[in-house]
Amino acid sequence: MEWKSRAHPISDVRDWKEANRLELQPDFQRREVWSKAAQIALIDTIIYNIPIPKIYIKSIIREEKTYRVVIDGQQRLTAILAFVENNLKLRSPHISFEAYAGKKFKDLPEEIRNKILSYNIDFNEIFNPSEEEVRDLYARVNKYTVSLNKQELRRADFPGEFINLASELSESEFFSDNKFFSTGQKRRMLDVEYLEELLALLLEGDQDKKDSLDDFCEKYRVFHDGTTIIKEKFMNVLDDISTIFSPEKPLANTRFRQKADFYSLFGCVLSFIDEGRVFRPEALTDVRDSLYKLDKQIAPHSDDEVYREYAIRCISDANSISTRRWRKKFLLDYVRPLYDVAEEQEEE
């Protein structure tokens, strides 16, 4: 295969698209779509005139005209074209120039528009390759790259206090002592993602899977009342859970260390704290024994139908809002004796 390295300005790429001589997504490409935040961050990079990685294309001569097919780099070109075609609006905090926030390409000063259109993109270009050669190249380019997971993308797309607090809380001794996260999970920021789920639960109640985390990261980029109250409340829940399990048989040695179980237990304790109920140490032994009993008896093949259903709901559709609410409701009866009614309720 004979490759040529060439630079083309963005204006050329737009011309190819307008002339219907650019194919952005051939059938071997992944059907991934960048978030708006990622697209805006790319435009910000271009405005700063920082080079972006090379894009691979194949060029085909048909009827004496050159047609180009993207082999690798479709998301970058899609974002760039969306912007210069006025289908993408810049917004904070993903754009460095606040004066451009809320603007489309047509709204920018002429000098900046020309700067963007003249920005050179580096292309590796091959002429008239076979389909086998193209697919082989695509496989080679992507084989040794590890795609960013959703949480790694959130860190780049939604910087702010929500992610910062989740990162801080993920380093709490509670999670390290109870061996919640492996080294690999921490490396891929999956510990921070799980803490974001717990924070979302604390802020707005049970959520459906992880689909809403982008919204929370953006909505709570700034905590208007500060992070202190939220962090204190979060740690109060962890303190109560730590007290429930004995040093002889800590949380780490029970099923409640599992992510699905812990999410529901966290929500259960949180609900009593939110109601203003007071922790009753005299009930600790009975509640602890009840939870240890659950730990032994909950299983997919349990003789007890309810225990069996709980176990299945920790595996099948475990993170849907309906399943999470079912598990929390189940646990409430076991934990309730630990919490006395609120003082206001007693007076009534």
Q: What is the pLDDT of residues 19-30, one digit of tens each?
A: 999 998 765 555
Distance separating alpha carbons of residues 59 and 7, to the nearest angstrom: 14
3 state SS for 172-218:
CHHHHHCCCCCHHHHHCCHHHHHHHHHHHHHHHCCCCCCCCHHHHHH
Over the stretch 92-130, which tens digit does the pLDDT of each residue have?
877 888 899 999 999 999 999 999 999 999 999 988 887
Q: Is the per-residue pLDDT at 348 higher than 60?
A: no
Over the stretch 198-226, which tens digit does the pLDDT of each residue have?
999 999 999 987 778 989 998 998 998 88
Residue entry with tokens 């070109």: 77
Q: Is the per-residue pLDDT at 260 higher than 80?
A: yes
What pLDDT band is residue 329 in, cutting at 50, 70 and 90? very high
Task: Give the distance from CA 221 to its chain's centroid.
Answer: 14
CB 337 within 8 A of CB 287: yes
CB 96 within 8 A of CB 48: yes
Residue entry with tokens 């962890």: 238
Q: Is the per-residue pLDDT at 310 higher than 80?
A: yes
Distance separating alpha carbons of residues 65 and 36, to the nearest angstrom: 34
Distance separating alpha carbons of residues 193 and 117, to the nearest angstrom: 38
What pLDDT band is residue 131 in, cutting at 50, 70 and 90? confident
Q: Which of 52-56, 124-128, 208-212, 264-268 is predicted most confidently?
A: 264-268
Q: Which sequence spans correspond to the domains of the chain?
A: 3-145, 152-347
